[in-house]
């Protein structure tokens, strides 16, 4: 029997906004920060390339087998991933919405005078 060094493994959920859709990606790794950097550099899984990802959730697992098992379960838990993705916001979107509604009010005020 070979000696196996105990390695900490993590399961993580990444999120991004692509157009009007909120996307999530579930994976496992030994180093969450390094893996997120790889995904954002285009060196991660093919699905993650070309997008900017943020870390939505992570969990520590005892070993690789536990991490892979938890990843499998999280990939099938769409309600949980949807709840996490709901926390994503498009950058700068809030300010633009306020400006648009403000301009509409100005136009309507001008038309009535």
Looking at the domain assignment, is residue 80 inside a domain? Answer: yes
Number of domains the chain is built from:
1
pLDDT at 44 over 70: yes
- Which residue, among 64, 61, 51, 60, has the nearest Cα to 25 in the 3D structure? 51
Looking at the domain assignment, is residue 1 inside a domain? Answer: no
Looking at the domain assignment, is residue 40 inside a domain? Answer: yes
Which residue range is the domain that position 68 belongs to?
9-112
Looking at the domain assignment, is residue 101 inside a domain? Answer: yes
Give the pLDDT confidence of 65-74 residue by residue, as tens digits: 999 999 999 9
Give the pLDDT confidence of 51-109 residue by residue, as tens digits: 999 999 999 999 999 999 999 999 999 999 999 999 988 665 544 333 344 444 455 55
CATH number of the domain residue 79 falls in: 3.40.1440
Backbone torsions φ then ψ of 94, nearest 5 degrees: -60, -45
Residue 113's Cβ-count burial label (10 Å; 0-12, 13-18, 19+) is exposed
Instruction: Tell me if the pTM is above 0.85.
Output: no
């Amino acid at each position: 029997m070979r000696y196996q060094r105990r390695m900490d493994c993590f399961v993580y959920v990444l999120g991004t906004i692509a157009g009007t859709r909120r996307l999530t990606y579930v994976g496992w790794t030994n180093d969450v920060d390094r893996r997120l950097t790889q995904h954002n550099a285009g060196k991660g899984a093919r699905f993650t390339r070309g997008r900017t990802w943020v870390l939505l959730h992570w969990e520590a697992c005892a070993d690789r087998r536990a991490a892979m098992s938890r990843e499998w379960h999280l990939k099938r838990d769409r309600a949980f991933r949807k709840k996490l993705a709901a926390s994503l916001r498009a950058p700068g979107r809030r300010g633009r919405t306020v400006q648009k509604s403000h301009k509409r009010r100005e136009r309507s005020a001008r038309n009535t005078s």
